[in-house]
């Protein structure tokens, strides 16, 4: 169903968000209408000089009715609001938790463009190709200001921040082209930081990936960076420095110096490389230098993709 004033609905979440919006609008609309109608009716009925009874109701009746009314106007809105809260919270959690098998795509925002990277190596600018019917998870970061990734047709919007990864996911339902906006004022050309999401049938998407594959996969690029930057000099199999092996690291719980632990997710890997002294792996000396300022955000994503690709490997003995 296409509702007036709403953008088209092209994701699995969109119709659910619309249903909630319509329900809340109807509910508040009906209450507002009732209040306005009563104001007008009473103003006319009890206007100055009108011949209507103005006595108070007899005391016992008044007390009984008053108590019931008070209970009703507290209980009914309370139940309604709790129901709306429950409804909204369910949708929110849905929107916040990407399925584990979602297709990952990486987004780096900068003044004033969207740079997108597919795991298989393709890069795009201000245009994102995705398959329909498959959950897509965007892992996003910014090189400068705060931006916000907004696709109205999917009813999804997420801030994109420098120095950390935020996640947005959706399942596009129909092939087509949909507007992409930056929804956070990020400087002079903010209004031009727009683009489109191109949804293709899964088979057409596979073809698109193959035809446009001029670049090596992210993990392959990451592996060469790993050598160029000298990471392998410490983390490699025959390194002189005692550094933790990165095989099997991703997704694992890492014991840290001081007794805490951390999950080795994208955030942990990023911080390990840029802020190595923030979390020291237990049993190792804090000798790793910071690579902040030497690695760009896209390169960092490549390195992380490489470390991820080691997740299923065994550490050397
Ligand atoms: C001078 C040697 C050295 C270099 C060069 C080095 N590291 Fe490290 N790295 C270490 C040591 C030692 C640790 C363990 C102590 C710590 O957590 O800081 C470590 C920890 C890590 C961790 C956390 C591992 C865990 O098990 O928690 C990651 C990830 C990592 N390094 C990645 C890299 C990457 C990527 C590079 C290259 C950009 C790199 N390192 C360069 C020595 C090094
Ligand atoms: Cu922006």
> What's the pLDDT at 6?
82
Q: Which two tokens stand for residue 209?
A: 């990936």
- Residue 305 beta carbon below 6 angstroms from any ligand 1 atom: no
Cβ neighbours, 10 Å, residue 263: 11
Q: Measured from the CA of 242, which atom of ligand 1 is nearest?
A: 12
- Residue 300 beta carbon below 6 angstroms from any ligand 1 atom: no
> What's the pLDDT at 317?
66
Which of 284, 126, 117, 292 minimizes the C-alpha distance to 217?
Answer: 117
Answer for the pair 154, 170: CB distance below 8 angstroms, yes or no. yes
pLDDT along the chain (317 residues), means of 10: 78 92 93 96 91 79 85 93 95 90 94 92 92 95 94 94 93 94 94 94 91 82 91 83 88 89 92 91 89 91 93 77
> What's the pLDDT at 2?
64
Of all ligands present, the nearest one to the C-alpha of 194 is 2
The CATH H-level superfamily of 103-211 is Cupredoxins -  blue copper proteins (2.60.40.420)
Shortest-distance Cα residue to atom 12 of ligand 1: 243
Would you list the domain boundaries of the chain? 14-96, 103-211, 236-309
The CATH H-level superfamily of 236-309 is Cytochrome c-like domain (1.10.760.10)
- Residue 270 beta carbon below 6 angstroms from any ligand 1 atom: no
Q: Which two tokens stand for residue 284?
A: 């190792």
Calculate how far, in angstroms, residue 266's C-alpha sits from the geometric centre of ligand 1: 14
> What's the pLDDT at 232?
86
> What's the pLDDT at 70?
92
How many CA atoms does the CB half-sphere of 129 hold within 13 Å? 19
Cβ neighbours, 10 Å, residue 33: 10
Calculate how far, in angstroms, residue 289's C-alpha sits from the geometric centre of ligand 1: 8
Calculate how far, in angstroms, residue 231's C-alpha sits from the geometric centre of ligand 1: 7
> What's the pLDDT at 149?
95
Q: Do domains 103-211 and 236-309 have the same CATH topology?
A: no
Q: How far apart are CA 248 and CA 308, in angstroms?
A: 8
> What's the pLDDT at 53?
83
> What's the pLDDT at 186?
94
Answer for the pair 30, 175: CB distance below 8 angstroms, yes or no. no
């Amino acid at each position: 169903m296409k509702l007036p004033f709403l953008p088209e609905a092209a994701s699995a979440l969109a119709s659910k968000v619309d249903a909630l919006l319509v329900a809340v609008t109807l509910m508040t609309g009906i209450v507002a209408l009732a209040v306005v109608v009563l104001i007008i009716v009473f103003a006319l009925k009890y206007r100055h000089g009108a011949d209507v009874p103005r006595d108070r109701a007899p005391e016992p009746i008044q007390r009984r009715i008053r108590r019931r009314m008070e209970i009703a106007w507290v209980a009914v809105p309370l139940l309604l609001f709790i129901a709306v809260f429950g409804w909204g919270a369910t949708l929110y959690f849905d929107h916040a938790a990407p399925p584990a098998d979602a297709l990952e795509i990486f987004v780096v925002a900068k003044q004033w463009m969207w740079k997108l990277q597919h795991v298989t190596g393709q890069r795009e600018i201000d245009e994102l190709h995705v398959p329909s019917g498959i959950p897509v998870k965007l892992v996003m970061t910014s090189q400068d200001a705060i931006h916000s990734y907004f696709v109205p047709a999917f009813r999804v919007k997420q801030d994109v921040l420098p120095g950390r990864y935020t996640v947005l996911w959706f399942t596009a339902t129909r092939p087509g082209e949909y507007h992409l906006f930056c929804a956070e004022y990020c400087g002079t050309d903010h209004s031009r930081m727009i683009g489109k999401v191109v949804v293709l049938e899964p088979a057409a998407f596979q073809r698109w990936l193959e035809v446009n594959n001029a670049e090596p996969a992210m993990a392959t690029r990451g592996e060469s960076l790993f050598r160029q930057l000298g990471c392998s000099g410490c983390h490699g199999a025959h390194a002189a420095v005692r550094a933790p092996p990165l095989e099997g690291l991703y997704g694992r719980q890492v014991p840290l110096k001081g007794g805490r632990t951390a999950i080795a997710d994208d955030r942990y890997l990023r911080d390990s490389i840029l802020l190595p002294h923030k979390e020291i792996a237990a049993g190792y000396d804090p000798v790793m230098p910071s690579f902040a300022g030497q690695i760009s955000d896209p390169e960092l994503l490549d390195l992380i993709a490489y470390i991820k690709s080691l997740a299923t490997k065994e550490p050397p003995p």
